[in-house]
Amino acid sequence: MKAIRNQYLFAIALLAAMVFTSTLARAADPLPSWNDGPAKQSIVTFVEKVTTPGSPDFVPVPERIATFDNDGTLWSEKPLPVQVYFALDRVKTLAPQHPEWKTKEPFASILKGDPKGLMAGGERGLVEMIMATHTGNTTVEFEQIVKDWIATAKHPKTGKLYTEMVYQPMLEVLAYLRANGFKTFIVSGGGIEFMRPWAEQVYGIPPEQVVGSSVKTKFELRDGTPVLVRLPELNFNDDKGGKPVGINEHIGRRPVMAFGNSDGDLQMLQWTAAGTGARFALYVHHDDAAREYVYDREDALARLNKGLDEAAAKCWTVVSMKNDWKTIFPVEKK
């Protein structure tokens, strides 16, 4: 009986040790929402080799810069980019002040609820809509408008707040990099002053680490109070070749890691990968129709065509949302 009892106690102890070890492994996993595989391993391996003292690839803390596109890389950009929905709502809000919009495109299509009419105007129509809805106010006024909108605006398909349509696996990457001495930056074609009011709360990225497209501003005294007024004129387009330029102007260091999801991010990844020493480039590939959306080479707004080819040629990491991510969006808090 004693031998049986000892065997039983040993089995219990072994099981407890296995459970404890498994728990430790899960706790130590910096990317728990990622399936084990080459994509996850490429991130961990790179971070370990550039942060290990004595490693031939060691990167000093001040040089640990990681840049992330926003739309489609950190949060969902379909059916339309979030900032476009913001602009659409602004058109409706401002319409009473602009009776001419009833017959003028792209505003007429927007007010009729015709998205195809809006998209028929192409990039020119989108720019005109942005200029009409994002300017004419001070920077402080615009910041409050964005904060009020983002606090309640919801995704048309899921009914979730847009700030809940962020990618949990990418939130984990951001946290993992910061825990290892990296500074994380957003480098997006989206408006810099549209992203700054909420990026710190949602991503942990402060306003000074957001790089984006901008309109011109001018200094004025209004009733003796100094203000910055947003003008209906493009100052900088932080997309495609503009991204490395924006990084150079705003950050002043070439990134060692860059993350994107479309050809609009290609130049950022190219410029990052071309630096000396260890470099890392990653594309998020939208291939999960069940949990998000499927689009790549032929998409009108977020084409990933040249980028896929270059990633294959240069052995960059390509993340399959379908196969590499256990979950896409944060679990709802009850």
pLDDT at 144: 98
Cross-strand partners of 161: 154
Phi-psi region of 305 (alpha: psi -120 to 50; beta: other; left: phi over 0): alpha
Q: Calculate what percentage of the chain has a pLDDT beyond 90.
A: 84
Average per-residue pLDDT for the chain: 91
The total number of residues shown for the chain amounts to 334
Question: Structural domain boundaries of the chain?
Answer: 34-79+166-324
pLDDT at 18: 37
pLDDT at 121: 72
Do strands 294-295 and 317-320 pair parallel, antiparallel, or not at all (unpaired)?
unpaired
The answer on pLDDT for 37 being more than 70 is yes
Question: Which CATH fold would you assign to the domain 34-79+166-324?
Answer: Rossmann fold (3.40.50)
pLDDT at 1: 47
Instruction: Give the pLDDT confidence of 271-305 residue by residue, as tens digits.
Output: 999 999 999 999 999 999 999 999 999 998 999 99
Which tokens sit at 19? Answer: 């459970």
- Surface-to-core class of residue 76, CB atoms within 10 Å of its CB (0-12 exposed, 13-18 middle, 19+ buried): buried
Instruction: Give the pLDDT confidence of 55-111 residue by residue, as tens digits.
Output: 999 999 999 999 999 999 999 999 999 999 999 999 999 999 999 999 999 999 999
120 confidence band (pLDDT: 50, 70, 90): confident
Contact 287, 78 (CB under 8 A): no
Chain centroid, CA 56 distance in Å: 31
The answer on pLDDT for 129 being more than 60 is yes
pLDDT at 124: 82
Instruction: Give the pLDDT confidence of 185-241 residue by residue, as tens digits.
Output: 999 999 999 999 999 999 999 999 999 999 999 999 999 999 999 999 999 999 999
pLDDT at 332: 64
The answer on pLDDT for 326 being more than 90 is yes
333 confidence band (pLDDT: 50, 70, 90): low
Torsion over CA: 229, 234, 235, 237 (sign): positive
More confident residue, 98 or 5: 98
The answer on pLDDT for 128 being more than 80 is yes
